Amino acid sequence: MDHRRIIAAAAVLAMAASAVSCGSDAGESKAETTSAVTVEEETEETTKTEEKSANDEKKSEKTTAKTDAKTSEKTTAAKSATTTKAASGSTGSTSGGSASGGNSSGGSSSGGSSSGGNSSGSAQTNAASGGGQTSSETTPAAEEEVKEYTAEITLGSSPKVTGSNVTVDGTVVTITAGGDYIFTGSVDNGQICVDTGVSEDKVTVVLNGVTITNTSAPAIFIREAKRCTIKPKEGSVNTLESGVEKKGVKDTGVIFSNDTVRLKGNGELNIKATASHGINSDDDVVIESGTYNIDSRKSGIIANVGVTLNGGKVNITGGTNGIKAKGDEDAVGTVTINGGAMYVSGGTKEEKHSIYAAEFNYAGGTVFAAGNKFTQPTTSAAPYAGFGFKNGGAAGSELRFYVNGIEKGSLTPHMDFMSAVMFLPDLCVGDTVSVFVDGNSMGDFEITGTKNEFVVG
């Protein structure tokens, strides 16, 4: 700006000199000087105006950018809330509190529980308020998905059913087609029956705090279902009891299945057979997960084809055999242990076993068993240690098993016993094993190969 003032000043001086020399042109020169100053001032003012306009444009752009950013954030948040609520509504009902943080305030939503595969829920979106604050309703990301069932059944003297593919006859509830069915409640002389005909549909029976007793039939009877799973729901404790014993009739047991039955879940199932078997299958019994406490007058688990443990925890007190895979003309009876943990007491009578099978395969997991005898494994992924008691052991004795001086497990047989066996996935040749009976060591023994059977007592 200084150079413009210098030029203007020079012009004024030149005009003044001209006026002195020209005399008569003095008035005109004065006018021209005034005009020049005015032009300079106008030029300076115009420059300031242009600079101010440019600055205003920049400020306007920044303001517009900020406004657009806020608008975009609000729009994104609104879309996110709407999407979240839509997802929540599609999976069932939601009940939640409020959430708050920053400049946002959260609302809450509530809905009814799902029933028979139907679900209801409500959602509301609040409009954004001024001052940069927004109010919206969202469902927590960690919320557990609501399970939809084909039917929900409450057991009792008059069972209540919400859903489809279920019939009721007195205290007997029958599932007639594939699907997921959840049961709650208690009933005396009741039964859950699965009968899907020749259908290949999957049936899952979920037990959520169920108690069933039956003196004349299985508590759960799988008459016809190619793929049936019994699932104690996570956190639940369930009890099944049966006193049925029909000589010459195969469908005896607290749980009886004409086809393969699978057990899985993260809950607990107590099975008490006062006259017969705990779990009985004309095909296979497969245990995937869950906790099962079986107390039976006869075999704890018996299958015509095979018994497989892949995971979970199984405690058995059997009056005859602990586990038995009997086989038939079409199949070799097989017991396979792949994982999980099994504690077996059974097989007190002559020729009865804690574990009995035509073929016994051990691939992993933990097994402690005691009884009259046990079937030697056909194949074993790790060495095992068997202990034969010369003078036998008394019912109620506490057995503790050690490897290299470290306790690995314990078992208290409920009847007199003649043998005990330990399977561990990390047992190795060269390890020293021992068994204690009521705190007394039966000696130390070295693992020398896959099959190790020691005489003690």
pLDDT (tens digit per residue) in 179-224 = 999 999 999 999 999 999 877 789 999 999 999 999 989 999 999 9
**Residue 29, amino acid:** S
Q: Is 150 helix (H, G, I), strand (E, B) or coil?
A: coil
**Top-confidence range, 29-33, 88-92, 376-380:** 376-380
Across the chain, which distance is largest between two alpha carbons, in Å? 152
Give the integer Cα–Cα distance in Å for 77 and 360.
60
**Top-confidence range, 23-32, 48-57, 415-424:** 415-424
The pLDDT assigned to 419 comes to 95
Q: Which two tokens stand for residue 390?
A: 């010369």
Q: What is the pLDDT of residues 290-308, one digit of tens each?
A: 999 999 999 999 999 999 9
The pLDDT assigned to 347 comes to 73
Q: Which residue would you say has higher pLDDT here, 57 or 314?
A: 314
Q: What is the DSSP string of 322-389?
A: SEEE--BTTB--EEEE-SSEEEEE---STT--SEEESEEEE-SSEEEEEES--PPPSEESS-EEEEEE
Kindly indicate the confidence band of residue 17, based on its pLDDT and cuts at 50, 70 and 90. Answer: very low
Give the integer Cα–Cα distance in Å for 174 and 267.
23
Residue tagged 């470290």 (tokens): 406
The pLDDT assigned to 247 comes to 59
Average pLDDT over residues 49-62: 46
Q: How many CA atoms lie within 13 A of 409 on its CB side?
A: 17
The pLDDT assigned to 144 comes to 36
pTM of the model: 0.69
Q: Which two tokens stand for residue 154?
A: 């409450």
Question: CB under 8 Å to 411, separation ≥6 — which residues?
Answer: 343, 345, 368, 369, 370, 399, 401, 420
Residue 318 pairs with which residues in a beta bridge?
296
Select from 342, 247, 264, 348 the least CA-distant residue to 301. Answer: 342
Sign of CA dihedral 79, 85, 88, 90: negative
Q: What is the pLDDT of residues 4-13, one digit of tens each?
A: 444 444 444 4
The pLDDT assigned to 246 comes to 64
Average pLDDT over residues 359-370: 97
Answer yes or no: is pLDDT of 27 > 80.
no
Answer yes or no: is pLDDT of 441 > 70.
yes
Answer yes or no: is pLDDT of 427 > 60.
yes
The pLDDT assigned to 279 comes to 97
The pLDDT assigned to 137 comes to 36
Answer yes or no: is pLDDT of 123 > 80.
no
Kindly indicate the confidence band of residue 249, based on its pLDDT and cuts at 50, 70 and 90. Answer: low
Question: CB under 8 Å to 99, separation ≥6 — which residues?
Answer: 106, 138, 140
Select from 391, 352, 358 the least CA-distant residue to 370. Answer: 352
**What mean pLDDT is reported for the chain?**
77
Helix, strand, coil percentages (3-state) for the chain, rounded to 5, are 20, 40, 40
The pLDDT assigned to 39 comes to 37
